[in-house]
Amino acid sequence: MVKIKCLAFVVTGLLVTVSLAMAQAEEEKYLEEVHQYGNQALKLGGYVQARWEGTLEDRAMPNAFRIPRAYFGASGDVGECFSYKVLLTMPGTSISLFDAYVDIKPIKQLTLRVGQFQTPIGMEKLRSSSVILFPERTFASGCEEFPLMNRDIGVMLTGNIKFLTAQLGIFNGEGRNVKVDLNEAKDIAARLTVKPIDYMHFGGAYQMGKRLWVDTTGMFSREWDFNRWGAEFALNPWDLWFATEIMGGKDEEVSLITYYAEAGWMFSVPLDWIHGVQPAVRYEVADPNTDADGDSRSIITADINLHLLPADKAKLALCYRMITEERTEVDNNQIIAQLQLKF
């Protein structure tokens, strides 16, 4: 009788132990699946850039502290073929939608993107402000002298075959966060890049569409054709970065052009609190009307980046911009000190 009770006690203990072990294993499996799904379904991130900027000459441009860029976004994968990204920007006291798109990837070499995102033209324009060498972008990313649409709503197909990447997109042509398409025409943009070796790429892009003239009463008067084209080259061996780009186009009958060249080199330093020091220099020119004289502008920028953490997570940029106007010189050379934190 005692033996039977002992055996029953042992069997009961084994059953309880097995049950607890199975329950723990199921719980761990569930938590692992939830963790993996969470990593795939939601990734939060963003960056903040805070700066002091000013000029020593022009009193109309006072020295001031600014936050030129602040972004917060979410991205991730949903299933095997779908991914998404939502990016918000906070210029001043408002919050504005920057990116909002869905990627469909039926096969490894093909991606269909639908939503609001960058049009496929311009090498620097397509790079994040957090990874470029300088606090300010070039004329080639869009400016008063060289208008270039940053983001638009549409659909784009991207194909990758070995060292070749091709993109073709159709867009409303109205820009970011414009819900109404003001004309029936659509913008068409295409980009082709070649990467023969890991540290070099070159390519070209073209965009065309129609725009509407607005008269003094705010009414739309007529349509006019526009186009933009670009050619790019980048070299990034070791810790060197060299890039050059030329972009041009037409606004109806007015031809415009811009180009730049830049270079930077990352050096390691024997300090625990600095990941690297990266001096850089750039020259850029914009001509808003190639048939007119005296309207071009050029900028020479000298910069040094103190990388406090790797992968541009934290860096301090100290920058001087020498700005030259072709016809009427203005004392507007600029000094910038900018701190960036990525998360």
Q: Using an 8 Å Cβ cutoff, are 125 and 141 in contact? A: yes
The strand pair at 96-107 and 187-197 is best described as unpaired
- At 55, the pLDDT band (50, 70, 90 cuts) reads confident
At 31 the pLDDT is 42
CA–CA separation, 277 vs 256, rounded Å?
A: 36
CA distance between the termini of the chain: 68
At 131 the pLDDT is 97
At 59 the pLDDT is 59
Q: What is the mean pLDDT of residues 241-246?
A: 98
pLDDT at 187 over 90: yes
Query: Best-predicted range by mean pLDDT among 11-20, 34-43, 107-116?
Result: 107-116
CA–CA separation, 331 vs 57, rounded Å?
A: 5
CA–CA separation, 277 vs 269, rounded Å?
A: 7
Q: What is the mean pLDDT of residues 202-210?
A: 96
At 266 the pLDDT is 97
Between the alpha carbon of residue 102 and those of residues 41, 74, 90, 157, the distances in Å are: 13, 12, 22, 12
Over residues 271-319, the pLDDT tens digits come to: 989 999 999 999 999 999 999 999 999 999 999 999 999 999 999 999 9
Q: What is the mean pLDDT of residues 99-127?
A: 97
The tokens describing 122, both together, are 């311009």
Sign of the four-CA dihedral 300, 132, 196, 168: negative
At 87 the pLDDT is 97
Q: What is the mean pLDDT of residues 184-202?
A: 95
pLDDT at 21 over 80: no
pLDDT at 13 over 70: no
Q: What is the mean pLDDT of residues 200-224?
A: 82
Domain residue spans of the chain:
1-41, 42-342
List the one residue out of 106, 41, 56, 49 whose CA is nearest residue 72.
Answer: 49
pLDDT at 229 over 50: yes
- The one-character DSSP state at 292 is S
At 27 the pLDDT is 46
Over residues 123-179, the pLDDT tens digits come to: 999 999 999 999 999 999 999 899 998 899 999 999 999 999 999 999 999 989 988
CATH code 2.40.160.10 for 42-342: yes
Exposure letters 208-226 (e unless 16+ CB within 10 A, then b): bbebeeeeeeeeeeebeeb
The tokens describing 327, both together, are 């016809």
The burial of 298, by beta-carbon neighbours within 10 Å (0-12 exposed, 13-18 middle, 19 or more buried), is given as middle
- At 2, the pLDDT band (50, 70, 90 cuts) reads very low
Q: What angle do CA 151, 153, 159 make, to 5 degrees?
A: 85
pLDDT at 16 over 70: no
At 57 the pLDDT is 67
pTM of the predicted protein model = 0.84
Strand partners, 53: 64, 336
- At 185, the pLDDT band (50, 70, 90 cuts) reads confident
At 217 the pLDDT is 66
At 218 the pLDDT is 62
Q: By mean pLDDT, which of 133-147, 186-200, 201-215, 275-289 is the weakest? A: 201-215
At 24 the pLDDT is 46
Q: What is the mean pLDDT of residues 8-23?
A: 39
